[in-house]
Amino acid sequence: MNGPIRFVVFDCDGTLVDSQHGIVACMTLAFNDIGKGAPDAAAIRGIVGLSLDHAVAELAPSLSLAEQGAVVAGYKAAFRRSRETGSHGEALYPGAREAIEALEEAGYLLGVATGKSMRGLKAVLDQHGLARAFVTLQTADNAPSKPHPAMLRQAMQEAGAEAAETLMIGDTSFDMAMAVAAGAHPLGVAWGYHPVEALRQTGASDVLGHFDELMPWLAGREVAA
């Protein structure tokens, strides 16, 4: 797949924004609220990117379905409160805004595919004034959890892009596996929640160390093609 890329899809948590502290705090509270010990922070960071119900099932497979459902509900309530009070920020990673603006200026179509809810994603994009940049937003509300490719395929359909024209940028093995399954180009980032080696093992063609590297990477790929 060496044709030109014209559609760039970003993951959100761990790729565009650093939301780990809020996610860990809210997940810990949700487990504690049902009288269960919470997984450690590293384990919680490891499931970021999955849809919430899948994430809880991965973290606590021994819990009953009712208990898992209570954790999901508790997490949603805790995160909603944290956003309303501003107690947990979701800051853009350095260079994210500039990269998005550069891609727009260069004529790329942009999208987001995330395990967040649509409500949560729109809140983040509105907070940073970035909603207008994206032609499609895909969330866990309307697609199976990553790494299933449906979310990315829906994004490509809405953007009118072929898989060979699509670049998926993410920080987790779930993002890379989803891209591979959808036939898109998987590009990892090193500043998120999964180790670089895990990204490469699940298909990342390359891994960026900083957003500043994205436009040169795209330019170099076009020259090579």
Enzyme catalytic residues? 11, 13
91-92 and 17-18 as β-strands: parallel, antiparallel, unpaired? antiparallel
14: amino acid identity, one letter? G
Which candidate, 142, 186, 151, 147, places its Cα nearest to that of 166? Answer: 186
- For the record, the structure tokens of 111 come out as 């999208």
Measure the CA–CA gap between 5 and 34, rounded to whole angstroms.
47
CB atoms within 10 A of CB 35: 8
Residue with tokens 């790929």: 221
